Chains A and B, each alone.
Chain A
Amino acid sequence: MVLAIVGVIMQVSLLPALRPLGVVPNLMLVMVTLIGLEGTASTALVVAVAGGVVLDLSSGANFGLWIALLVLAALAAGLVHRAGIELVGSAVASVIVAVLTVVETVVIVLGLAGSVSSWPVGLLAGRLVAELVLNLVLTIGLQPLVRYVMPKATMGDIG
């Protein structure tokens, strides 16, 4: 829980201020996915809902987007657990994070369809690639930490 609180505060303060590569990495998406894969889906869902509400309160538009995105990440991680897929490497977490990063971008950009007169496709693609790279680096970098901190889920409490 401490990890989640630190994550959410960094997501609204330090990371948007630093903007590495000109984009804001999605630390909370990475954390929820990793908690769902390394711990239990229930824990990931609680973090997703609590973190999503805080991020939506910090956000000036699209209330509910963050709750929906993070809940999706937690459910996807839970489904992977239920399917019994091998979770030794970072591949599964990376795929979930990458897919949801694309989903997030598409939803935000489509939400602006009525306000935008011209679409800077190259710039949007560049930002998406930069965000994907940063999120995947965070996923690979944070996985050992989350694995160390989270109590390992047993067969009975994965859900």
Chain B
Amino acid sequence: MTDRVNFGDKANRRIWITVGAGMLLAVAGVLGQLGPLRWAYEHSVVPAGAGLASTGSTAAEALGNLGKVKDLARDNLRLEQENADLRQRLAADAETRRDNDLLRQQLGLEVAGAPRQVAAEVVAFQPDSYRQFVTINKGAGSGIKAGMAVLSGGELIGTIADTGNTTARIMLVTDPDFKLTAKDQDTGATGIVRGQLGSGLILDKIGQTDTVKPSDTVTTTGLGGLVPAGLLIGEVQSVNTRANVVFQTAQVATNLQVSQLRFVYVVLGM
């Protein structure tokens, strides 16, 4: 043991002033009154962290790929077959879309266009292991608003939680607080897609009489909010049906890998 130390009032005062300042900042943050600090954050930490975030994502992707090398030949064959199948379906869909547009024109209905999107880069991540948020380098200045859908790799990965002028924060679909109405595209069954604490996402509140099967496609319904209909969320993995419960639930698989997120697209609207 070393000798006990006598502390002067000056040292104590310094400590309590700093603790008080911390508490004031925390309260101001909860009340949303940290405008100048948020501006400073957007113009200092975000640019400085962007490079490191992208380096980290690249490294995580490279490390992830190391374990997959032995499966490359088999994956390549599977993807070639899937690609051929998708090209065939795309051709059929293009024909259907042309017929649909023609019929809508004849009925005097608006012809749906491709949703307007803005590309953004992930510049910061949630600093803990449990919540699922990322920050991007585009904000209200680019027309982004809270509630808008965000895509990556063709799938919905989350919605905008809040915006600054040059940054926006995305709540990922895997965050436990994430909720969005969704439907089984193959059977039309609707439910609420929710993030799970560390275990992907589930489609909840599916009626007992509705049908949901493994490998069905889950998409957005477009009901309420700023998320348009028909955005791909994932694929049903398993269904939990019990006679004594009111609703069915289904485990939904998503391709979202937080650590490998780099570029995303915010859907501004139709």
Q: A17 is contacted by which of B38, B41, B198, B259 (Cβ under 8 Å)?
A: B259
Q: Mark B10-41, 1 if CB is under 8 A from A, else 0.
A: 01101100110111011101100010011001
Q: How many residues of B contact A (CB 8 A)?
A: 63
Q: Report A114-141 residues with CB < 8 Å from chain B CB.
A: 115-120, 123-124, 127, 131
Asked if B263 is an interface residue, CB under 8 A from chain A, the answer is no
Q: Is B60 an interface residue (CB 8 A)?
A: yes
From B97-105, B169-177, B207-215, give the one contacting chain A: B169-177
Q: Which of the residues A8, A10, A59, A115 comes within 8 Å of B128, measured between beta carbons? A: A59
Q: Nearest B residue to A158 by beta-carbon distance?
A: B5
Q: Which residues of B lie under 8 Å from residue A62 when comparing CB positions?
A: 131
Are the C-beta atoms of B52 and A120 separated by less than 8 Å?
no
Q: Does A48 contact B (CB under 8 A)?
A: yes
B130 touches A57 (CB 8 A): no
**Interchain CB contact under 8 A, B60 and A123:** no
Q: Choose one: B7, B34, B127; the contact of A58 (CB below 8 Å).
A: B127
Partner among B22, B55, B57, B177 whose Cβ is within 8 Å of the Cβ of A71 = B22
CB pair B133–A17 under 8 Å, yes or no, is: no
Consensus secondary structure, chain A interface: helix
User: What residue in chain B is nearest A5 (Cβ atoms)?
Assistant: B48
| Interface flag for A75 (CB, 8 Å) | yes
CA separation between A59 and B269, bound complex, in Å?
27
Interface size on A, residues (CB 8 A): 68
Q: Is the CB of B22 within 8 A of A59?
A: no
**Judging by beta carbons under 8 Å apart, are B49 and A59 in contact?**
no
B1 at interface, CB cutoff 8 A:
yes
Given contacts A9-B48, A17-B52, A159-B11, 7 further A-B contacts (CB under 8 A): A18-B259, A24-B127, A53-B29, A60-B126, A63-B29, A105-B130, A158-B5
Which positions in A face B, CB cutoff 8 Å? 8-19, 22-24, 26, 28, 41-42, 45-46, 48-49, 52-64, 66-68, 71, 75, 78, 81-86, 104-105, 108-109, 112, 115-120, 123-124, 127, 131, 155-159
Give the A-binding residues of B (Cβ under 8 A): 1-5, 7-8, 11-12, 14-15, 18-19, 21-23, 25-27, 29-30, 34, 37-38, 41, 45, 48-53, 55-57, 59-60, 123-131, 133, 135, 161-162, 169, 171, 175-177, 194, 196-199, 204, 258-259
The 8 residue pairs across chains A and B that have the minimum distance between CB atoms: A17-B56, A159-B11, A60-B133, A16-B125, A64-B26, A13-B49, A13-B52, A13-B53
